[in-house]
Amino acid sequence: MTSLILASASPFRRMLLQNAGLAFDAHAATIDERAIQERLQEIHPTPEHVAVELAKAKALDVSRHFPGMLVLGSDQTMSLGERVFHKPADLDEARSHIATLAGKTHRLNSGIALVQDGVVLWEHVSSADMTVRPLSEAFIERYVERCGEKLLSSVGAYQLEGEGIHLFSAIEGDYFTILGLPMLPLLAKLRELGAING
């Protein structure tokens, strides 16, 4: 059996792997995500491409410290048309994000990559389309006041597993993709690699 390392400090990703009964260690990557995204701008990447490239960069970074180990990197981008969103810097930006998304359908793109000894063995991206219902300014204000600083940890200023569910009128896509780790394709690949029992 190959030992698995999760190149992330995300409690949600850890929870998903634990709930699936996988044995793994977690070690956060130390990369400059914004610098990587700026370099990628030269090739005008799609939001899906950015998610996969960041996932690979995280896995490659952690792989350097763990020879022989299988390292899982993951990242998520959120896009509305051509615009790619980042985590809000403060509550004012969170309000702005939510107001911009209101009444529109945006896309979450979850990229994952498996790396061993500095070699990318596999990469994948899954997407989910998220439709936010029309929202009044008063509702947005109440929502931001109730949720507070928690909103700053999510690129869309919402957490679907919490009060963020109130923002939506429709969701098309896989729940695991929305949480940032497409589990079904990941588990299929781990079985194929012999990293978990099939």
- Written as tens digits, the pLDDT of the chain (198 aa) is 458 999 998 888 999 999 999 999 999 999 888 888 888 888 888 899 999 999 999 999 999 999 999 999 999 999 998 888 888 999 999 999 999 999 999 999 999 999 999 999 999 999 999 999 999 999 999 999 999 999 998 888 988 888 999 999 999 999 899 988 999 999 999 999 999 887
Two structure tokens written together for 101: 């998304």
- Whether residue 159 lies inside any domain: the answer is yes
Domain membership flag for residue 198? no
Residue 12 sits in which domain range? Answer: 4-192
CATH number of the structural domain spanning residue 133: 3.90.950.10
Is 197 domain-assigned?
Answer: no
Counting the structural domains of the chain, the total is: 1
Question: Does some domain include residue 21?
Answer: yes
Question: Which tokens go with 183?
Answer: 């589990």
d(CA 124, CA 164): 26
Residue 142 lies in a domain: yes
Catalytic positions, please?
Answer: 75
**Helix and strand element counts for the chain (H, E):** 7, 7
| Residue at 30 is within a domain | yes
Going through the chain in order, the beta strands assigned E by DSSP cover 4-6, 24-26, 70-80, 83-85, 105-116, 119-132, 168-172
